Structure 1
Amino acid sequence: MANLELTLSALKPVVWSIAGSDSGGGAGIQADLATMNDLACHACTVITTLTAQSSVAVNLVEPVSDEMLLAQLDTLLQDLPPKAIKIGLLANQHQIDLLSRWLALDLHDHMKRNGTEVAVILDPVMIASCGDRFDGDESRLDFTPFTGLLTLITPNAFELGELVGRTLDDMSQYHLAAKDLSQLLETNVLAKGGDKGPAWRANAAQDIFVCTRVTACSEMHQHRSFLLSSQRIPSNNNHGTGCTLSSAIASVMASGFVLHDAIAVAKAYVTAGIKHSYPVGEGPGPLSRTGWPNDLNDFPIISSLDDGPSLPSGIKFKAIDERLGLYPVVSQLSQLETLLRAGAKTIQLRIKDAGEPHLEDKIAQAITLGRDYQAKVFINDYWELALKYNAYGVHLGQEDLYDADLNRIADANLALGISSHSYFELLLASQIMPSYIALGHIFPTTTKVMPSAPQGLMKLQHYVNLFKGHYPLVAIGGIDASRIETVKLTGVDDVAVVRAVTESEQPGVAYQALSSAWEQADVSQ
């Protein structure tokens, strides 16, 4: 299978690391460079601090001058503006104040003039893996000048306690502190649980994600708190895990993914890095750089930490062993019958208007037609009617999952298809073991108004690389005859089509032509 990852983007996204130099090579600027380059970004550096550091000690911390710090920022902005910025070690309060002013004035002016958004990820580094503090004995650093300027802050247990000014003894206090910090700095918070602290567990690395507001993301996942739990890898080689995580988040966001996705991918990246880490000195060794994560076992389990809606656990839906084939989605019963007559073996009835006259009769007839033609007919949204008339399956969007009685659907042995538009949604969908997952929308489409942007082929390739073989994967959204072959190059199992069939003067003929093109597309090169 051809890999589209290198061919779909002419330029690597530029990501900045504003951080300190680690002379031992395991953390700081050095770890950020390795991570950003490994995740197919172009890394630029703004060095705030030089450290005399090894795997066992930090012997000297020396900030750069104000002139040098500002010169690096301004020089890069003129020629290599960032898609995302990771901020690490800031040596003193003066550097915090200087950088926050630059972000508020210079970067803001750049974004306004160019109509762009730059993600800013702050890893508030205060202590090295060996246990030495970077800020010496001075009073607690004040990060409030960054209020309203950040996309995400990623404190560990010690740093979170310092930032909120209190001792954290248990998970509820840890969660409350993360929410308080989110309000204080007006930003999203990822409170890390890898280090010893209230979130530490012997068999799991648990992080708390407090989301305020994220663009191009489902409303179901806004203003929420989530627990992201990954397997804990038994290893003493954890030098630079925080730097690696935050720079990976910045890199994934620079590649066009939303914050929720970036956090999930970065956690998987760190897990894989620890699995293959290695010792080089007497202290903790560094992580390996293992490329974009494609092992589902490395990704976190996502659960709700608040009173918002959550999905049931321990549930599984009917498995579909055979391919779905070219999968039409129609809104009219007459078109459904025409396409079944033309040979469609999987089809979806999607009636958008709940006030449609004779809605129940149309759904009942569609299910009967499916039996007559021995086809898989999926009913979109109206799961209760699908249950009543014993449909083959139901298709639900992400928001609809929380309204439907999933246990009843599973108990009735109906197949379940789920729409997903991001890594985060895919991971949530996979946790309830659906019958198939629809990935979209891949290209711009007018059939639905979506909060997410078109996913594109590069993202589709990443999703396929992760989920291929776990569930049948169906690409949907703006797919027509001109795009069949490029979509198939990603390795996705099948495609769903809407306008390419429904807007044709001869839907049956259009279906047969598209189905033939899909089956015969040559992706062997």
Structure 2
Amino acid sequence: MHDPTGATGIAADIEAISSQACHACTIITCLSVQDSQMVSSLIPIDADIIAQSARSVLEDMPVDVIKIGLVGSDEAVQVIHDILQDYPDIPVVYEPMLVSSNGVELAEGDMIEAARELLVPLAHILTLNTVEAGMILPEADNPAAMMNGLMDMGCDHVLLSGRREAGDTVINTLYHNYRIIEEFEWPRLTREFYGAGCTLSSSLAALLALGLDDLSACREAQSYCWQSLKHASRYGMGQYQPARFYWMHEDE
């Protein structure tokens, strides 16, 4: 997805991946009309163009990890599924991006159903928040039920983010094989952000590509994301954007 503000989507992916000294090859699945306050509309890219673009890259370059974000249409979900089936040895990090940080739903019934059936089962690591998990599994009313349901669908790992405890702590949880691998506690930042999910998932994909194991990659990606949010800037009239190259400005 292309976000003209640079906070989310392809621009965020490129910055987060580049910050880990990796190279990003990008396939745009949809265009967005948005500013720092609101997503106004999404324009899906033709599924055949997505397929041709992705296959052109995959047939030309060695790809270590595939990261999937907002897809844009159920037709695009199908062609991405078909491509992943042809490259089963490439691990997939999937961030569904079903809802924006200010609550705008970015996907509806048919697309959510398609993602549930065709993309979630192929994810090596599924990264999402509790709101998105509830959209995929509307019958699940707690994190444990969400985890069990997502594991039932076939994904290997789930990194469930954003559970707020009493006080100033946010808890992210990594699940694998129907059990908690680790809970990560982070100081809660009080600003409103957009682009955190893309920052987390794309840096995670890059760290996996560099050879880190799943737990280490999840831990390092969260640390990087938290620092990016801590140093975030407000460029428009809305939410803050992560500073994905925050270390370049630490002495300013």
Scaled by the length of structure 2, what TM-score is found? 0.90
SS in 2 for 1:52: strand
SS in 2 for 1:179: helix
SS in 2 for 1:154: strand
Gaps of 5+ in 1: 1-19, 109-116, 194-198, 213-221, 293-525
Q: Which residue of 2 aligns with 1:149?
A: 122
Q: What one-letter code is carried by the residue in structure 2 that aligns with 1:247?
A: S
2:93 to 115, 121, 128: 121
Describe the superposition over 1:38-79 as per-residue Cα deviations: whole angstroms up to 9, x where unpaired.
110011101100111111111221111122101111110122
Q: Which residue of 1 aligns with 2:107?
A: 135
User: Greater relative contact order (Cα 8 A, min sep 6): structure 1 or 2?
Assistant: 2
* Superposition map of 1:218-367 within 5 A: 224-236=180-192, 238-290=193-245
User: For 1:210 and 1:228, how far apart are their aligned partners in 2?
Assistant: 12
* Superposition map of 1:48-197 within 5 A: 48-105=29-86, 107-108=87-88, 117-135=89-107, 140-142=112-114, 143-146=116-119, 148-166=121-139, 168=141, 173-193=142-162
- Residues paired across the two proteins, number: 245
Query: 1:128 deviation in Å?
Result: 1.4
Q: What one-letter code is carried by the residue in structure 2 that aligns with 1:200?
A: R
User: For 1:136 and 1:151, how far apart are their aligned partners in 2?
Assistant: 24
User: For 2:238 and 2:144, how far apart are their aligned partners in 1?
Assistant: 31
User: For 1:64 and 1:57, how far apart are their aligned partners in 2?
Assistant: 21
SS in 2 for 1:62: strand
Q: Which residue of 1 aligns with 2:15?
A: 34
Gaps of 5+ in 2: 248-252
User: For 1:167 and 1:182, how far apart are their aligned partners in 2?
Assistant: 13
User: For 1:144 and 1:260, how far apart are their aligned partners in 2?
Assistant: 26
Q: Root-mean-square deviation (CA), in Å? A: 2.0
Residue 176 of structure 2 is aligned to residue 211 of structure 1: yes
Q: Decide whether the 8 Å contact of 1:147 with 1:185 is kept in 2.
A: yes
2:4 to 11, 18, 23: 23
User: For 1:136 and 1:224, how far apart are their aligned partners in 2?
Assistant: 30
Describe the superposition over 1:175-227 as per-residue Cα deviations: whole angstroms up to 9, x where unpaired.
2311221222332111111xxxxx21341121121113xxxxxxxxx954421
User: For 1:93 and 1:270, how far apart are their aligned partners in 2?
Assistant: 29
Q: Which residue of 1 aligns with 2:250?
A: none
Q: What one-letter code is carried by the residue in structure 2 that aligns with 1:152?
A: I
- Distance change >3 Å, CA 148–CA 166, structure 1 → 2: closer
User: For 1:147 and 1:30, how far apart are their aligned partners in 2?
Assistant: 24
Q: Decide whether the 8 Å contact of 1:175 with 1:208 is kept in 2.
A: no
2:164 to 191, 200, 206: 200
Query: 1:145 deviation in Å?
Result: 1.4
Query: 1:278 deviation in Å?
Result: 0.7
User: For 1:36 and 1:206, how far apart are their aligned partners in 2?
Assistant: 24
Q: Which has the larger radius of gyration?
A: 1
User: For 1:235 and 1:186, how far apart are their aligned partners in 2?
Assistant: 32
- Distance change >3 Å, CA 174–CA 147, structure 1 → 2: closer
User: For 1:204 and 1:127, how far apart are their aligned partners in 2?
Assistant: 22
Q: Decide whether the 8 Å contact of 1:55 with 1:130 is kept in 2.
A: no
Q: Decide whether the 8 Å contact of 1:144 with 1:185 is kept in 2.
A: no
SS in 2 for 1:121: strand
Q: Decide whether the 8 Å contact of 1:273 with 1:288 is kept in 2.
A: yes
Q: Decide whether the 8 Å contact of 1:51 with 1:58 is kept in 2.
A: yes
Describe the superposition over 1:318-343 as per-residue Cα deviations: whole angstroms up to 9, x where unpaired.
xxxxxxxxxxxxxxxxxxxxxxxxxx
Query: 1:136 deviation in Å?
Result: 5.2
Moved more, 91-100 or 26-35: 91-100
User: For 1:262 and 1:139, how far apart are their aligned partners in 2?
Assistant: 29
Q: What one-letter code is carried by the residue in structure 1 that aligns with 2:102?
A: C
Q: Decide whether the 8 Å contact of 2:73 with 2:111 is kept in 1.
A: no
User: For 2:102 and 2:211, how far apart are their aligned partners in 1?
Assistant: 35
Q: Decide whether the 8 Å contact of 2:120 with 2:126 is kept in 1.
A: no
Describe the superposition over 1:395-437 as per-residue Cα deviations: whole angstroms up to 9, x where unpaired.
xxxxxxxxxxxxxxxxxxxxxxxxxxxxxxxxxxxxxxxxxxx
Scaled by the length of structure 1, what TM-score is found? 0.45
- Distance change >3 Å, CA 139–CA 119, structure 1 → 2: closer
- Percent identity reads 25
Describe the superposition over 1:447-477 as per-residue Cα deviations: whole angstroms up to 9, x where unpaired.
xxxxxxxxxxxxxxxxxxxxxxxxxxxxxxx
